[in-house]
Chains A and B, each alone.
Chain A
Amino acid sequence: MIQLIKNDLSTGRYYLIMVYLYILFLISAMITALVKDTGGMLAGIFLFVFIAVSGASGFIAPLVDSTGKGDVLRVSLPVRRYTLVLARYISSFIVAVAACMTGFAVIFTAVTLFHIDDPVLHLLLSVRGMTGLTAAVLLLISYGLPFWFKYAELNPIFRALVAPGVLLLCIQGAGQLRAVRNGALQRIMELLTLVQNNVRDWIFGMGVSHPLNTVLAVLCAIVLLSLGSSIVFYRKRDI
């Protein structure tokens, strides 16, 4: 199991190149932030979209294992299929969390270094922002992995399902950019908080618990659901 995770992490080196690239993106976004006050939002969008896209496609799958054939080797080894699934989840999460942390670190350094006063960046760096974003990324990975375990490659069906999501994110990002200009950020944030509270109340009855716990609980439930379906899919799959 540990060996499988180690293998995933060591073969996922192409992913690291992408991480470097995205740090460059972040930094350039920071520099834009010095000029205009929209940079913070831009950085946030970069961070989220990048991690989401790579995460949702089961990060290693399309980047390293573009043919989906590594499966043949893994399944031929003396390992159970559910162990393979579990290991892939853990390694995906490790990489995703590490990428998020790197992102926050870069933003934090930039913010303190250049004394950027951008509301979005400050939100990103708050406990709430950090947990929220990380949770969102993990959720997206949880959404993507079952597809990967069912169809292996970036199969047409899979793409058809993921692409609209990414598009939606981009449109939303662009919309928010305009919203910032109109000074409507405050209103959007209020709306988001409202939605979040509603969802929380809907799941846990009357908003009893601490927001952090709620996020964790919802996340766990979804991750377990995703893991369960991945195991079922992978067990049944012909490789």
Chain B
Amino acid sequence: MANVLEIKKLRKTYPGFMLKDISFSLPEGYVMGLIGPNGAGKTSIIKLIMNLIHSDGGEISIFGMHHGKDSVAIKERIGFVYDNPSWYTHLTLKQIKNLIAPFYRSWDESRFQELITTFGLPLKKRLSTFSRGMVMKSAIAIALSHHADFIVMDEPTSGLDPVFRRELLDLFYEILQSEKKSILFSTHITSDLEKIADFITFILEGTLIFTDTKDNVTENYAIIKGGLSLVDNLTEGLFKGMRKTAFGFEALTDNVKEVKKRYGRDVVVDSASLEDIMYFSKLRSSDDTAH
């Protein structure tokens, strides 16, 4: 199985922020969710992939090609959606489309018209009159109109209502009917695209916490609840982030089996959502910095 995206030991330093040796890969035909709280470095990774910013080390290859040297050939096959589509707001959607479409050899005008109709977007209104959701929809429509093999999205669902988020999901499933199409998206709202993601890559403060199939993540991670008497030094390695209250503790583990073996019926094991994982991991990392 070929990888559509392969990132090796990627580094980038900004004043006050650092991406530390990020490595992960996405096989062709699958969906990866890049998750993490705001400021974790998701957007930086996407910008590095799109060659908008330059890395301080490491390698990125897309479609098996070097992302810098072959950037034109690569970008021809990428559909991108950014968190903050930076468009000329004094233009209409039609004008924007006319600015972008000529750059893609495989631009499909009828597909674009179809998407615009489905999304209910006006072609002849200035973008400055669009709501945030409409701008996002426009970006998505443009990204999906040139038969891109790899769709890269930074926070595609922010500003979209739940109904449209569901519709978007259907659209992505449709694209995925081809085994050649892959999707990478970053999000901090994990619930909506959680369903479709095959792989989850979790970034926290510029560090890769894990990259794995979603099934493995949901299998290994869990929320453990129990009495405070159980909390001792032994739990240190087992629990990633803990919240103590007067009545007991709640903690995240990435090794459910071991916890069950050790504590058995003394604790309650709940499945952990991606949101739980983000929350507790963040707790732990802020603990670490406090000590």
Are chains A and B touching directly in their complex (CB below 8 angstroms)? Answer: yes
- A11–B71 contact, CB under 8 A? no
A67–B90 alpha-carbon span in the complex (Å): 13
The answer, yes or no, to whether B235 is at the interface (CB within 8 Å) is no
Shortest beta-carbon distance from B249 to chain A in Å: 43
Closest residue of chain A to B143 (Cβ to Cβ) is A76
The answer, yes or no, to whether A206 is at the interface (CB within 8 Å) is no
The answer, yes or no, to whether B95 is at the interface (CB within 8 Å) is yes
- A79–B103 contact, CB under 8 A? yes
Complex partner residue of A76 from B50, B54, B95, B102, CB under 8 angstroms: B50
- A236–B54 contact, CB under 8 A? yes
A204–B86 alpha-carbon span in the complex (Å): 47
Complex partner residue of B99 from A11, A75, A238, CB under 8 angstroms: A11
A78–B77 alpha-carbon span in the complex (Å): 9
- A76–B80 contact, CB under 8 A? yes
- A78–B103 contact, CB under 8 A? yes
Shortest beta-carbon distance from A78 to chain B in Å: 4
Shortest beta-carbon distance from A127 to chain B in Å: 38
Number of interface residues, chain B, beta carbon within 8 A:
28
> A70: which B residues are within 8 A, CB to CB?
86-88
- A64–B88 contact, CB under 8 A? yes
The answer, yes or no, to whether B131 is at the interface (CB within 8 Å) is no
Give per-residue flags for A78-97: 1 if the beta carbon is below 8 A from chain B beta carbons, else 0: 11100000000000000000
- B52–A78 contact, CB under 8 A? no
The answer, yes or no, to whether A73 is at the interface (CB within 8 Å) is yes
With A3-B102, A78-B72 as known contacts, state yes or no: A73 contacts B53, CB within 8 Å.
Answer: no
> A221: which B residues are within 8 A, CB to CB?
none
With A7-B99, A75-B52, A238-B54 as known contacts, state yes or no: A80 contacts B71, CB within 8 Å.
Answer: yes
A136–B51 alpha-carbon span in the complex (Å): 36
> A20: which B residues are within 8 A, CB to CB?
none
> B84: which A residues are within 8 A, CB to CB?
69
> B91: which A residues are within 8 A, CB to CB?
11
With A72-B52, A72-B82, A239-B52 as known contacts, state yes or no: A80 contacts B88, CB within 8 Å.
Answer: no
- B103–A73 contact, CB under 8 A? no
Complex partner residue of A75 from B51, B76, B88, CB under 8 angstroms: B51
Give per-residue flags for A219-239: 1 if the beta carbon is below 8 A from chain B beta carbons, else 0: 000000000000000001011
The answer, yes or no, to whether A14 is at the interface (CB within 8 Å) is yes
- A239–B87 contact, CB under 8 A? no
- B87–A238 contact, CB under 8 A? no
Q: Which of B74, B82, B88, B95 has the most CB of A within 10 A?
A: B88
Closest residue of chain A to B53 (Cβ to Cβ) is A238
A183–B34 alpha-carbon span in the complex (Å): 73
Shortest beta-carbon distance from B150 to chain A in Å: 13
A97–B53 alpha-carbon span in the complex (Å): 34
Shortest beta-carbon distance from A33 to chain B in Å: 36
> A65: which B residues are within 8 A, CB to CB?
88
With A3-B102, A11-B99, A69-B86 as known contacts, state yes or no: A76 contacts B53, CB within 8 Å.
Answer: no
Closest residue of chain A to B100 (Cβ to Cβ) is A77
The answer, yes or no, to whether A10 is at the interface (CB within 8 Å) is yes
A71–B50 alpha-carbon span in the complex (Å): 12
With A76-B80, A77-B103 as known contacts, state yes or no: A14 contacts B90, CB within 8 Å.
Answer: yes
Shortest beta-carbon distance from B20 to chain A in Å: 18
Shortest beta-carbon distance from A75 to chain B in Å: 6
Complex partner residue of A3 from B54, B74, B82, B103, CB under 8 angstroms: B103
Q: Give B95-110 interface residues, CB cut-off 8 Å to A.
A: 95, 99-100, 102-104
A197–B72 alpha-carbon span in the complex (Å): 47
> A76: which B residues are within 8 A, CB to CB?
50, 52, 75, 78, 80, 82
A71–B73 alpha-carbon span in the complex (Å): 19
Shortest beta-carbon distance from A36 to chain B in Å: 40
> B86: which A residues are within 8 A, CB to CB?
67, 69-73
Complex partner residue of A77 from B47, B54, B75, B90, CB under 8 angstroms: B75
Q: Give B29-86 interface residues, CB cut-off 8 Å to A.
A: 47, 50-54, 71-76, 78, 80, 82, 84-86
Q: Which of A10, A70, A71, A73 has the most CB of B within 10 A?
A: A73
Shortest beta-carbon distance from B92 to chain A in Å: 12
> A69: which B residues are within 8 A, CB to CB?
84, 86
Q: Which of B51, B86, B104 has the most CB of A within 10 A?
A: B86
A7–B104 alpha-carbon span in the complex (Å): 15
> B71: which A residues are within 8 A, CB to CB?
78, 80
Closest residue of chain B to A64 (Cβ to Cβ) is B88
A64–B91 alpha-carbon span in the complex (Å): 11
In the complex, besides A75-B51, A75-B52, A79-B72, 5 extra interface pairs with C-beta distance below 8 angstroms are A72-B82, A73-B87, A78-B73, A79-B75, A236-B54
